[in-house]
Amino acid sequence: MTAVFSWRRPASLPFTLHDAWLWTGALAYARRAGMATLLVADASGLSILIDRLKLSVDRVEQLPPIPVELDHVRDIAKLQALRIAGANAIHIDFDIFLRKPLPPEILGADFAGEFFYPTRQFLHHVNDSLAVARHQPPPVQCLAGGIMGGQATQRIQKVIDRSLAVALDPLNRPALIVANGYQASVLIGEAAFAAEFPDAQILLPHANQNRQDYIDRGYVHLAGNKDNPTKLHHASEMVREDFPSEYAATFHGFAGLRN
């Protein structure tokens, strides 16, 4: 199984030392969990992660061009990366540490994600704002996509192609430019896969409400805590303790980025 990582970062968003350690940890934990690693990134990402930080990745691919005005719709890059990866692949966000291997039912699933959650009203608003809608109507549930992918390659590619066609359609550009990037990403990613795979395998049985699920799975996902200094410190300490040489190398590599 290939762990797919994607990079598309607005130029206005600073790249911090904690970001560097998250990338180091995400890749190192995926390798330790027995997965091959694929990075799909634009020129900036390849320069920072590969040339400067010298992170170890099994395979590197160039991210197809994305209009700069859609940088905030981050799932465009995730979907493109999954399409490039092809079969036997799961996209993993850079703020996720797989401290244990993913279970067989996840690795062998047609499609897998973190957990299902009820569709929120904003999804209807974003979908209705588009000249070319993605859903008719949106599904009643979405599939959290910190990890997302599976074995049903043709069906997955069909979802990706449809979502990218909608996201990149010039008729939808005015609405997406002003849309909330997270909400637009849910529309083309988490909602689209939930609609196609209502029986997807989930990693966390009690959604994100049960800390024990995360412990049992060895699963760390910072999600909305990437601005929390305490959470970031704990994450960096995990990397330091589990991968001391990679941690030190990232520290020195980041210092070089500042010079």
Is the previous residue joined to 137 through a cis bond, with omega within 30 degrees of 0? yes
Cβ neighbours of residue 254 under 8 Å, at least 6 residues apart? 17, 20, 53
pLDDT digits (tens, 9 = 90+) for 210-228: 889 999 999 999 987 888 9
Cα–Cα distance measured from residue 187 to residue 115, given in angstroms and rounded to the nearest whole number: 16
- φ/ψ of 2, rounded to 5, equals -100, 130
The architecture CATH gives domain 2-116+143-172+196-254 = Alpha-Beta Complex (3.90)
The list of the chain residues with pLDDT below 50 reads: none
Cα–Cα distance measured from residue 254 to residue 259, given in angstroms and rounded to the nearest whole number: 9
Looking at residue 208, its pLDDT comes to: 86
Mark 1-26 as b/e (b = at least 16 C-beta within 10 Å).
bbbbbbbbbeeeeebeebbbbbbbbb
Looking at residue 224, its pLDDT comes to: 79
Looking at residue 258, its pLDDT comes to: 65
Looking at residue 259, its pLDDT comes to: 60
